[in-house]
Amino acid sequence: MAVPGPRFRPALILFAATLLAVTGMVTVASGAAAAVEDDGADCPVSLPASFPSTAKLPDPFKKIDGTRVTSKSDWRCRREEIKKLAERTIYGQKPAKPASVTGTVSATNITVNVSENGRSAGFSAGVQLPSGTGPFPAVFVVGGFGADTATIKASGAAVISYDPLAVGKEGTPRNNKQGAFYSIYGSSSSTGLLAAWAWGVSRIIDVLEQSGGQLFKVDALGVTGCSRYGKSAFAIGVLDQRIALTMPIESGTAGVPILRGIPGESGSQGLSNAYGEQPWFGDAFSAYTGNPAGLPVDTHELVGMVAPRGLFIMENPHIDWLGARSGSVAALAGAEVYKALGAGANITYWSDVQDGTHCASRPEWRTPLQQNIQKFLLKTGSAAGTFRISAKKAGNLAEWRDWATPTLTDGPGTSTTPTTPTTPTTPTTPTTSTTPAGGCTATVSVNQWTGGFVTTIRVTAGAAATTAWTVAADLPTGAAITSVWNAGPSGDTGSVRFTNTSFNGALTPGQSTEFGYQGTGTATGTTASCTTG
């Protein structure tokens, strides 16, 4: 068949545009490889019938067969193992793409029609376009509140308003779940709302992929939401690798915070309470509401499942119910996966905010929101992620892990001494103080960026147990501390003394704990010494 000459092309373009408007089912042209919903779906995963219980966070780099990840290429199938573990115990199964997914895409609306095994369902999402001409990157805003949609659109991204309740209703008993997902898979499905809501966004993305890209860039999609919809935004980013930027806000229990940490965090929503409030969790999670140590997985590994894609976690330390301390631990531990994959600059955690109002539009988050959209959706930015942990709810990763972060290469990897990640930039070489065998040592690591830094100091007991410790740190000229976690400071410039808190002063021989601080200026060259008693 002869290729049409130039004079025929306008008519063909008009025909294609008309077809899109009528059906919304234009096939995506072949070309560069695109992200897929589950890149590791072909990995063989065999889950054991039971798992050993552990109060510590499971090692994200340890495979089910007991061996550890040693190369970056290993992570693909290890990620699939974590996904299967999370589906079995936390979320319930998120089914793969149904046999038929069709729909329409316009400047104001997206419709989705799904058919599987003789059952059909449909739902839709609203669209708000930014100024300018498309195709546009887009951010799914789950539930319609708590997200800074003005900044999203001003940054050049469209807003896709997703109503998750059309896909999975709240207020229903577990044996009679309702909504488009359960119309397809049955009202007694053991899959919880969070996985069902994630499935709904995945089906919208299917339709966007079919639309030919005239309005939306399918390789530049983000998701955000607050509170219960922050839980949803997190699950969506975890369970669909086509999401380039995941931005959960104040997600609380069933969201980012580690499940093992919730029972010990005063005032946070209990696991049983969250399980009973709504069917957010999968039904199988009932076995773990009183025993999170029995879980073979925890949310730090779900943070790792998002890696190396963009992740911006926003938390509120002023409301105990939201469990922000456990959230900071999840972010710190999950950032170890980012670091191992060479993507440490792709994760941001921010709980250092002044306004305690739930789901408020916060000025502290506006700049990092813009930077993340520029970097991961517009692909015009390169700002490194940062950790801004509120001193009110600062978690201590050292208390939660007994595993080391490997150095992953394309060949065999080697383990490194565990370190708590802070701002994801290149750290300086740690320096260790020299102390008597019976005292303690202080090891300094600095993550420096232009105009600011985060310093992590690791305190290790010597041959004798300690009940209290003090670290004296000498900051370079011009460096000033703005926030501290897991220690009490005296001063903020020059020679600063840090003393233990009530929960990290007692160390057995050789045991370590960590504290940190953020500041302005340059901290490279900081030295520290440790004394006990």
Alpha carbon distance 48, 348 (integer Å):
34
Answer whether 43's CB lies under 8 Å from 76's CB.
Answer: yes
Mean pLDDT of 151-158: 96
* pLDDT of residue 32 exceeding 90: no
Q: Which two tokens stand for residue 57?
A: 């966070």
What pLDDT band is residue 305 in, cutting at 50, 70 and 90? very high
Tally the domains of the chain.
2
State how far the Cα of 270 lies from the Cα of 268, in Å rounded to an integer.
Answer: 6
Is the predicted pLDDT of residue 31 greater than 70, yes or no?
no
Q: What is the rounded average pLDDT of the residues 9-25?
A: 34
Which of 163-167, 319-323, 386-390 shows the lowest mean pLDDT across its residues?
386-390
Instruction: Find the range with the poorest average confidence among 231-240, 243-252, 411-420.
Output: 411-420
Using an 8 Å Cβ cutoff, are 221 and 159 in contact?
no
Length of the chain, please?
533
Q: What pLDDT, on the 0 to 100 scale, is given for residue 409?
A: 81
User: Would you state the pLDDT for residue 437?
Assistant: 56
| 312 and 458 fall within a common domain | no
Which DSSP string do the residues of 204-234 spell out, in sequence order? HHHHHHHTTTSSEEEEEEEEEEETHHHHHHH
Confidence of residue 511 (pLDDT cuts 50, 70, 90): confident
Q: Taking residues 381-394, what's their average pLDDT?
A: 91
DSSP assignment string, 432-492: E----TTSEEEEEEEEEETTEEEEEEEEEE-SS-BS-EEEEEEPPTT-EEEEEESSEEE-S
Q: What is the CATH number of the domain that holds 334?
A: 3.40.50.1820
| Single residue among 380, 399, 418 that ends a domain in this structure | 399
| Whether the Cβ atoms of residue 213 and residue 136 lie closer than 8 Å to each other | no
In a domain, 415, yes or no: no
Q: Are residues 276 and 141 in the same domain?
A: yes
Q: Are residues 141 and 271 in the same domain?
A: yes
Residue range 410-422: mean pLDDT, rounded: 40
CATH code of the domain in which 494 resides:
2.60.40.290
Residue 454's beta-bridge partner residues? 447, 518
Would you say residue 182 lies in a domain?
Answer: yes
Structure tokens at 150: 């003005």
pTM, two decimal places: 0.76
Q: Is 103 helix (H, G, I), strand (E, B) or coil?
A: strand
Residues 350 and 452 in one domain: no
Task: Report whether 366 contacts 147 (CB < 8 A).
Answer: no
Report how far residue 145's alpha carbon sits from residue 148's, in angstroms, rounded to the nearest whole number.
8
Residue 454 is predicted with a pLDDT of 74
The pLDDT tens digits for 173-199 are 999 999 999 999 999 999 999 999 999
Verify that 339 and 272 share a domain, yes or no: yes
Considering the domain boundaries, does residue 94 fall inside one? yes
Report the distance separating Cα 448 and Cα 427, nearest Å: 7
The answer to whether 232 touches 197, Cβ cutoff 8 Å, is yes
Q: Give me the chain's average pLDDT, please.
A: 87
Strand-pairing partners, residue 335, are none
Q: Stretch 142-162: mean pLDDT, rounded?
A: 95
- pLDDT band at 482, cuts 50/70/90? confident
pLDDT at 449: 62
Full domain range(s) for residue 460: 427-532
**Same domain? 83 vs 201:** yes
Percent pLDDT > 90 in the chain is 75
62 part of a folded domain: no
| Contact between residue 166 and residue 179 where contact means Cβ atoms under 8 Å apart | yes
Local structure of 176: helix, strand or coil: helix
Mean pLDDT of 124-135: 95
Instruction: Verify that 91 and 172 share a domain, yes or no.
Output: yes
Q: How far is CA 112 from CA 26, 101, 360, in A?
A: 14, 7, 31
Asked if 433 and 394 sit in the same domain, the reply is no
The answer to whether position 7 is within a domain reads no
Residues 213 and 347 in one domain: yes
Q: In angstroms, rounded to a whole number, what is the distance separating the alpha carbons of residues 446 and 303?
A: 23
Structure tokens at 177: 């779940």
Q: Are the C-beta atoms of residues 211 and 26 closer than 8 Å to each other?
A: yes
- What are all long-range contacts of 38-46, with beta carbons under 8 Å and residues at least 24 apart? 38/80, 38/83, 38/96, 38/239, 38/240, 38/241, 39/76, 39/79, 39/241, 40/76, 40/77, 40/79, 40/80, 40/83, 41/80, 41/96, 43/76, 43/77, 43/80, 43/81, 45/77, 45/80, 45/81, 45/84
Task: Name 204's Cβ contacts closer than 8 Å, sequence gap at least 6.
Answer: 103, 110, 112, 125, 140, 160, 162
Residues 366 and 466 in one domain: no
86 domain-assigned: yes
Closest C-alpha to 83, from 119, 47, 121: 47
Tell me if 8 is assigned to some domain: no
The mean pLDDT of 471-477, rounded to a whole number, is: 94
The DSSP bridge partners found for residue 115 are: 100, 120
Whether residue 197 sits in one domain with residue 92: yes
234 and 300 part of one domain: yes
With cut-offs at 50, 70 and 90, classify the pLDDT of residue 367: very high
What are the residue numbers of the active site? 227, 358
Averaged pLDDT, 298-304: 98
Residue 11 lies in a domain: no
